[in-house]
Structure 1
């Protein structure tokens, strides 16, 4: 019997079934007094059962020993079940057993990995009162535990109390200071280590370099790398992979190429971590061709390298290439992880491929890959960009089901999405429900209010934020100044602009000057706006000149328009929008020769006017309509409904604003052109395909024209609909024949 139990417990093929068979024999023949067999039984059980079930078996033992628990603790530690390690220690205490110096380090290691500071302190206290406080291995474990829990001062006190401090302990302390960005403290300890006769090793150098890099101290990380080499230490793969991210963030491609050359000479280019770091570095430095060369030279692509390459392509705007690479490796049935999917989704979302981002999210779930708190904020902007409210709500529900709504970046992304979809009330509700908020959250809700032209609410949120001790940044003031410009609040705009540097130590940047120029221009103070442009402390960019040119079109100021346009032709020679704006100003004044001259310039440069394009979500599908395009499958119905609406609209006293058509054609043709504007087509498509009274949401890629604005106001009244239209300037909320912009946009 004894032999058969031993075979059940010691066989390399033993399973949970064998453990239960042996356990039955234990109960039948009372073998619990045999410490060796009991320990073997518990060890076998620990491979298959979670601690709560194992705890029941432990409770059934008449006299468990410390050896019984040792086997369980070590088995759980080997399996990385550190929660169960702490559970076993707690159970030991309840059975009156005292852990020894061999078991305590396992508990301390579990606390370190779990970053469980409170249990860690309890173990420390127990070790001190039990006389183990001077055990060098145990004290070293405690130092590492406090470092993992970011309790650097507690770790330092213990470290200073140690009679013998080896290079491992010194390296851990130095890395701890480095990781927290405490550069001076790390360097001070590094010198102290050498003064005590302990020479640094590669671990010491790597710990400092990695720590400085993770803390954003990139210059210090690179300088330390150079110092390391000058002292005769040869960097290994860890060193190279630690310093390259800092080089990438500094965009020092020359040094990056030198490190790359060193890696090749030392045979480190085969190291997966080095390869990923090289791809990341070249991507951050904008060297897409070099990055591709590194990636294409890899014999067997590993998931980390693929992820780094996809991120680098996205960072350099090469989204089509990123999609091709992604699809190629997916077709090869490479096991793509959540980072891979998140990278490609973010790439599409950030580069105008919003529909593709939503499709990829569905494919990701179909492949059984669980999205995380990084995936969701990457995807949500795509819903806002194309005003896909239903998709956005579904993703909101998904985040609630998965318990990641409380993540501050998920919440902030949802605020932004609802704002972009015209539902500012829902955006505010998300904000109010957030358990914690950071500056990103406050900026998101202020930006939403500003986009909807709600200046009062924007200012209220700004002052509420100040009361929570959050300090405004440049993005905050962009939202506040934008709210001023949307409502023509020149005095308030100047007050906020002047307070930036005086009260909040935020230096005005290009976008803030652009807001002021837009604000002054929109209220007709074009000469004052031009004075601001001339007096700027730096050379105005295309954003500033573009704001002036756009307002010159609204206020028909030809002389300033020509000045702004000439600047833009130099800054953005391939942007067709600038040529179109100037030609439209010439056309509005009947200067057809000049208008034709600009059109010829565009033709010679191979530029084409961006067609007016609008999007509308109906059900779960987003429809795209182009101005003048008749390819939509429901175009016949759209035109029939448009004709009926046109009769009703004219009965209400509306006359087509043919001055909005800046073409040298007959008046009748101008009316026909106005009917084909994409936002009108989108609104009519929505009326056809939705229930009476249901709100409509349209996005326009250009500024909404005067005629479309007037027509949609009338439609909202005669059809009794709320209609939301987002153009490049702001949100228009049409209801009962009135627009939220007050006809100022």
Structure 2
């Protein structure tokens, strides 16, 4: 059998005019119709159809056109094969994501007596990693060592990536350390291995090692880090930001990863800011960018920006795209715009269970349980099988709307018809459902019967029910468990303190707050966001840092006077007991959501809806106050807190005064 070099020399000395013409045509990357005509011409000529060099050229041309079936036909017609021919076929399968076919072709290569080379192993290792056929990938390590190919850069990179994906980081690092030469792909493969296994600190250590050795981070480094940078520390996010800022060249993937990292770590302002910087630099977003930034828009209730992003989606014709469309539903839902969310939902050509779940969740958190129930039934009628998360959404919707009977039935349906084992999230929904219905004793009994260990969210739902229905005994029991499970979560201490305060047990209130002080716990400060003309304004309780603070407080005083004329009396029973009544009222009057609402009132025209997002639950006094403000100002006011959406209009809230 002739080697590639011998074949090339043969071509140079013996190529006919016909062969030279065909080779020239194939080198010009012809379209598929031209390619098929060239193929027919080769097959029809006995002198050409037996030319191995020409066959390789033809295979590569079909492979470049993503026609693996046609590539295979040429391959099958070659009687005498070598490693080059087999490698082209394997690579064609890999490039078209036909990974199992690539592995099978490797086996055929071995059975044919063709010896794999330094091009074969990287391709097959990639197929193993991409298809999760890690077992076969591990089997390939030994023959690569025997042939000395494990020291080849590309084979080494393939082994590092393969071991990293299967979670064998010890072996990945051993291969990496044994490589005589490494490139940026080598480093990024190791980073990705640690990141995919959730070992973020070690992934960062590799990045720091790169810096020490003068290896420049690139967009691939950013992409490698992204799987692990969710719910991590601010310090870790800032380190990744430094990598991003210091990169010589930032491809779109790097921007996407950084936006996603910000969004996944509740740094929505930063995510939106980075997207705006992209726009200013003229970097065009893709569907991944859009799916990453829309949740941040929703978190901030940045509706104007969200609508602008939606306009860009329409302009660039990014639909249909499940990720983008589901993100649009989520964004509109978080902004309290159920009509717009439903419109996106109805216009989707294809809906998956995530689409249905998102829409049901949107209705549920807005107190529209009947609409969520209707959607769930329609989903079933269409043959879409609800998953565990879909049941969380419908149970939560029933809870928020007080649909006790329906919630019980869905729980039965989940466990009996769909044979889904309840998770902690489902038990939380059921405890909340029973608690909202005033069945606190039954909710407590259900917790004690749980087959899994209840977490702080389960006990928190019970504690909230005790707060609403003044159940002191069970409330104290729930709080005791919460202080064990989440000793540093100040909100639970505050809730118990409020239960005692409502009962007038001020010594117990003082005791709880003394415990908080002793443990260094502080009540989480209320923060409210409101969007105005594409900019999100943030307010803290008692905030006077805003440039319009003077106007805001003057208008707040006027509004408070009108509220009192309408019968408003501040609910001070849960406020600090060791201050004067007048001070309690003043403290409640400047809660962050009120400042945000008044800011929106003085900066927008009559009838303009107001949307506010708050980082903690709306207090009872603010809830009463905002109902009155909606009537006095004749505005629709939507406040999204950590638990649900409150749609205030004409003095009424969609939550039915229970949240």
Q: Report TM bin, short chain.
A: 0.7 to 0.9
Alignment pair present for 1:698 and 2:604: no
Partner of 1:284: 196
Shift of 1:286: 3.4
Alignment pair present for 1:625 and 2:543: no
Shift of 1:242: 3.6
Asked if the contact 1:450–1:483 (Cα under 8 Å) also holds between the matched residues in 2, the reply is: yes
Partner of 1:212: 128
Shift of 1:423: 0.6
Normalising by structure 1, we get a TM-score of 0.77
- After the TM superposition, which residues 286-435 of structure 1 pair with which residues of structure 2 at under 5 Å, given as runs? 286-298=198-210, 299-308=214-223, 311=226, 314-315=229-230, 317-323=232-238, 325-327=240-242, 330=245, 334-435=248-349
For 1:86 and 1:522, locate their aligned partners in 2 and report how far apart those are by CA, in whole Å: 66
Alignment pair present for 1:86 and 2:31: yes
- After the TM superposition, which residues 708-719 of structure 1 pair with which residues of structure 2 at under 5 Å, given as runs? 708-719=622-633
Unaligned ranges ≥5, structure 1:
1-64, 78-84, 91-106, 108-119
For 2:66 and 2:364, locate their aligned partners in 1 and report how far apart those are by CA, in whole Å: 40
1:244-276 deviations in Å (ceiling 9; x for gaps): 4555555x3xx31332132222224x3211111
For 1:538 and 1:239, locate their aligned partners in 2 and report how far apart those are by CA, in whole Å: 46
For 1:443 and 1:133, locate their aligned partners in 2 and report how far apart those are by CA, in whole Å: 57
Task: Report the CA distance shift for 1:735/1:382 in structure 2 as closer, same or farther (over 3 A).
Answer: same
Shift of 1:432: 2.2
Task: Report the CA distance shift for 1:319/1:245 in structure 2 as closer, same or farther (over 3 A).
Answer: farther
For 1:358 and 1:649, locate their aligned partners in 2 and report how far apart those are by CA, in whole Å: 36
Which residue, out of 187, 192, 196, partners 1:275? Answer: 187
Partner of 1:439: 353
Task: Report the CA distance shift for 1:146/1:403 in structure 2 as closer, same or farther (over 3 A).
Answer: same
Asked if the contact 1:319–1:347 (Cα under 8 Å) also holds between the matched residues in 2, the reply is: no
For 1:681 and 1:304, locate their aligned partners in 2 and report how far apart those are by CA, in whole Å: 42
Bigger relative contact order, structure 1 or 2, given CA contacts below 8 A and separation 6+?
Answer: 2
SS in 1 for 2:464: helix
Task: Report the CA distance shift for 1:403/1:599 in structure 2 as closer, same or farther (over 3 A).
Answer: same
Task: Report the CA distance shift for 1:302/1:182 in structure 2 as closer, same or farther (over 3 A).
Answer: closer
Asked if the contact 2:200–2:229 (Cα under 8 Å) also holds between the matched residues in 1, the reply is: no
For 1:453 and 1:689, locate their aligned partners in 2 and report how far apart those are by CA, in whole Å: 29
Asked if the contact 1:313–1:321 (Cα under 8 Å) also holds between the matched residues in 2, the reply is: no
Alignment pair present for 1:485 and 2:399: yes
Asked if the contact 1:455–1:483 (Cα under 8 Å) also holds between the matched residues in 2, the reply is: yes
SS in 2 for 1:670: helix
Partner of 2:6: none
For 2:445 and 2:272, locate their aligned partners in 1 and report how far apart those are by CA, in whole Å: 45
Partner of 2:5: none
Partner of 1:648: 562
For 2:449 and 2:572, locate their aligned partners in 1 and report how far apart those are by CA, in whole Å: 39
Task: Report the CA distance shift for 1:246/1:676 in structure 2 as closer, same or farther (over 3 A).
Answer: farther
SS in 1 for 2:284: coil
Asked if the contact 1:529–1:548 (Cα under 8 Å) also holds between the matched residues in 2, the reply is: yes
For 1:405 and 1:566, locate their aligned partners in 2 and report how far apart those are by CA, in whole Å: 51
Partner of 1:15: none
Task: Report the CA distance shift for 1:75/1:691 in structure 2 as closer, same or farther (over 3 A).
Answer: same
For 1:576 and 1:221, locate their aligned partners in 2 and report how far apart those are by CA, in whole Å: 51
For 1:148 and 1:481, locate their aligned partners in 2 and report how far apart those are by CA, in whole Å: 51
Aligned length: 638
For 2:23 and 2:63, locate their aligned partners in 1 and report how far apart those are by CA, in whole Å: 28
Task: Report the CA distance shift for 1:128/1:66 in structure 2 as closer, same or farther (over 3 A).
Answer: closer
For 1:182 and 1:517, locate their aligned partners in 2 and report how far apart those are by CA, in whole Å: 48
Asked if the contact 2:216–2:247 (Cα under 8 Å) also holds between the matched residues in 1, the reply is: no
Shift of 1:466: 3.5
Asked if the contact 2:306–2:331 (Cα under 8 Å) also holds between the matched residues in 1, the reply is: yes
Asked if the contact 2:191–2:221 (Cα under 8 Å) also holds between the matched residues in 1, the reply is: no
Alignment pair present for 1:265 and 2:181: no
Task: Report the CA distance shift for 1:590/1:407 in structure 2 as closer, same or farther (over 3 A).
Answer: same
Task: Report the CA distance shift for 1:567/1:170 in structure 2 as closer, same or farther (over 3 A).
Answer: farther
Asked if the contact 2:329–2:358 (Cα under 8 Å) also holds between the matched residues in 1, the reply is: yes
Shift of 1:630: 3.2
Asked if the contact 2:434–2:443 (Cα under 8 Å) also holds between the matched residues in 1, the reply is: yes
For 2:466 and 2:141, locate their aligned partners in 1 and report how far apart those are by CA, in whole Å: 55
Task: Report the CA distance shift for 1:130/1:510 in structure 2 as closer, same or farther (over 3 A).
Answer: farther
Partner of 1:238: 154
SS in 2 for 1:658: coil
Which residue, out of 163, 168, 171, partners 2:79? Answer: 163
Task: Report the CA distance shift for 1:581/1:694 in structure 2 as closer, same or farther (over 3 A).
Answer: same
SS in 1 for 2:431: helix
